[in-house]
Structure 1
Amino acid sequence: MKQRRLIAAGAMFAAGAMALTACSSDSDSGSDGGSADSNASITLYSTKPENPLIPGNTNEVGGGNILDAVFRGLVDYDPDTAAPEMSMAESIESSDNKTWDVKLKADQTFQDGTPVDADSFINAWNWTAYGPNAALNNYFFASFDGYEAMNPADPDEDGPKKAPTPKVKELSGLKKVSDTEFTVKLASAQSFFPTMVGYTAFYPLPQAFFDDPEAYGKKPIANGPFQVTAGDGDSGFTLTAWSGYKGEDKPKIKEAIYKTYTSDSAGYSDVLAGNLDFMNQVPAAALVDNQYQTDRPDHFVNKAVGVIQTATLPQYSKNFKDDPNVGKALSLAIDRDTITKSVFNGGRTPATGWVSPIVDGYKAGACGEFCTYDPAKAKEYLAKSNFKGPFSFSYNSDGQGNKEAAEAICNSIKNALDVECNAKSYVDFATLRADVNASKMDNMFRSGWQMDYPHIQNFLEPLYATGAGSNDGHWSNKNFDALIKKANAAEGEESYADYQAAEALLSEDMAVIPLWYQAQQSVWSERLGNVKVTPKSTLDLTSVTATS
Structure 2
Amino acid sequence: MRGTTRTVAMVAGISSVALLAAACGGGNSDKTTSSSAGGKAGGAVTVRGCNPQNPLIPSNTTETCGGNVLDAITAKLVHYNAETGAPENDIADKIESTDNQNFTVTLKKGYKFHDGTEVKAKNFVDAWNYAAYGPNAQSSGYFMEPIEGFGDTQCTGSGDDPCAGAGKAKAEKLTGLAVKDDYTFTIKTTEKVSNMAVRLGYSAFAPLPDSFAADPKAYGEKPVGAGPFKFDSWTKNTEIKLSKFADYSGKFGGKLDGITFKIYQDEDAAYNDVIANQLDVTDQVPSSAMIDAKYKTDLPDRNAAKSVGVIQTITFAPTKVDPNYADPKIRQAISMAIDRDTIIKQIFNNTRQPATGWVSPVVDGYKANQCGEYCVYDAAKAKAKLDEAGGFKGGKMTLAYNADSSHKGWTEATCNSIKGALGVDCVATPVVDFATFRTQIASHKMKGMFRSGWQMDYPSIENFLAPLYKTGASSNDGQYNNPEFDKLINEAAAQTDPAQANAKYQQAEALLAGDMPAIPMWYSTATFGWSTKVTGVKITAFGTIDFASLSLK
Give the C-alpha shift of residue 68 in structure 1: 0.6
**C-alpha displacement at 1:311, in angstroms?**
0.2
Amino acid at match of 1:447: S
Quote the residue 1:528 is aligned against.
Answer: 534
| Residue 222 of structure 1, aligned match among 225, 232, 244 | 225
Quick one: which amino acid aligns to residue 248 of structure 1?
A: K
What SS is found at the alignment partner of 1:103? strand
Asked if the contact 2:47–2:261 (Cα under 8 Å) also holds between the matched residues in 1, the reply is yes
In structure 1, list runs of 5 or more residues that go unmatched. Answer: 1-17, 30-35
**2:185 matches 1:176:** no
Is residue 27 of structure 2 the alignment partner of residue 24 of structure 1? no
C-alpha spacing 1:109/1:339, structure 2 compared with 1 (3 Å): same
Q: What is the correspondence of 1:129-528 to structure 2 with a 5 Å cutoff?
A: 129-154=132-157, 162-163=162-163, 164-316=167-319, 317-320=321-324, 322-385=326-389, 387-388=392-393, 389-399=395-405, 401-490=406-495, 491-528=497-534
User: Offset at 1:249?
Assistant: 1.6
Question: Equivalents in 2 of 1:343, 1:320: separation in Å?
Answer: 29
Q: Hey, what's the Cα distance between the residues in 2 that align with 1:318 and 1:436? A: 12
CA distance in 2 between partners of 1:298 and 1:165 (Å): 58
Q: Classify 1:199/1:382 alpha carbon distance in 2 versus 1 (closer, same or farther; 3 Å).
A: same
One-letter identity of the residue aligned with 1:503: E
After superposition, the C-alpha distances for 1:96-147 in whole angstroms (9 at most, x for unaligned) are: 0001001111122111111211110011000010001110001101111100
In 1, the alpha carbon distance for the partners of 2:550 and 2:98 equals 39
Which of 50, 59, 62 pairs up with 1:59?
62
Q: Distance in 2 between matches of 1:319 and 1:465?
A: 20
| Superimposed CA distance per residue, residues 142-201 of structure 1 (whole angstroms, 9 cap, x where no aligned partner) | 1111000001433x6xx7872411131000000110010000000000111011010010
Which residue of the partner structure matches residue 104 of structure 1? 107
1:409-453 CA deviation, whole Å, 9 max, x = no partner? 111111111111111101111110000000111100010100000
Whether the aligned pair in 2 keeps the contact of 1:325 and 1:381 (CA below 8 Å) is yes
- Map of 2:9 onto structure 1: none
* Counterpart check, 1:128 vs 2:131: yes
Shift in Å, 1:385: 2.9
Q: Secondary structure at the match of 2:362?
A: coil
| Residue identity opposite 1:486 in structure 2 | E
Q: CA deviation at 1:314?
A: 1.6
SS state at 1:298 partner: coil
Deviations 1:70-107 (A, max 9, x none): 00100001111111001111100001000100111112
Q: Over the residues paired in the alignment, what is the CA RMSD in angstroms?
A: 1.5
Query: Is the 2:129–2:172 contact (alpha carbons within 8 Å) kept by the matching residues of 1?
Result: yes
Indicate if the aligned counterparts of 1:305 and 1:537 stay in contact, CA closer than 8 A. Answer: yes
- The equivalent of 2:10 in structure 1 is none
Tell whether the 8 Å contact from 2:33 to 2:539 is kept in structure 1 after alignment.
no
- Map of 2:14 onto structure 1: none
Q: Secondary structure of 2:105's match?
A: strand
The total of aligned residue pairs comes to 520
SS at match of 1:357: coil
Amino acid paired to 1:523? G
Asked if the contact 1:98–1:185 (Cα under 8 Å) also holds between the matched residues in 2, the reply is yes
The secondary structure found in structure 2 opposite 1:360 is coil
Unmatched 5+ residue regions in structure 2? Answer: 1-26
Q: Secondary structure at the match of 2:348?
A: coil
**Alignment-mate amino acid for residue 499 of structure 2:** E
Q: Which stretch of structure 1 is more off in the superposition, 221-230 or 380-389?
A: 380-389
Aligned partner of residue 85 in structure 1, secondary structure: strand
Match of residue 6 from structure 1 = none
- Once the two structures are superposed, residues 493-548 of structure 1 have per-residue CA deviations (whole angstroms, 9 ceiling, x without a partner) of 2211111110010011112000000001111111111111101111111111113x
CA contact (8 A) 2:28 2:350 kept: no
Q: Distance in 1 between matches of 2:235 and 2:411?
A: 29
Any idea what SS the aligned residue of 1:413 has?
A: helix
Deviation at 1:407, TM superposition (A): 0.6
Letter in 2 for 1:542: A
Match of 2:11 in 1: none
Tell me by how many angstroms 1:64 deviates.
Answer: 0.2
106-115 vs 282-291, which deviates more?
Answer: 106-115
Distance in 1 between residues matched to 2:328 and 2:272, nearest whole Å: 43
Query: What secondary structure, in the 3-state scheme, does the structure 2 residue paired with 1:82 have?
Result: coil
**Distance in 1 between residues matched to 2:96 and 2:40, nearest whole Å:** 41
For residue 38 of structure 1, give the secondary structure of its aligned residue in structure 2: coil
Cα shift at 1:320: 4.4
What is the DSSP-based 3-state SS (H/G/I as helix, E as strand, rest coil) of the residue aligned with 2:314? strand
CA distance in structure 2 between the partners assigned to 1:528 and 1:113 by the alignment = 31
Once the two structures are TM-superposed, the CA of residue 61 in structure 1 deviates from its matched residue by: 0.3
Matched to 2:371, the amino acid is: C
| 1:8 corresponding residue in structure 2 | none
**CA–CA separation in structure 1 for the residues paired with 2:533 and 2:161:** 56
TM-score, normalised on structure 2? 0.92
User: CA separation in 1, counterparts of 2:144 and 2:289?
Assistant: 41
Identify if the C-alpha distance between structure 1 residues 513 and 131 changes in structure 2 by more than 3 Å, giving closer, same or farther. Answer: same
Percent of aligned pairs sharing the same letter: 45
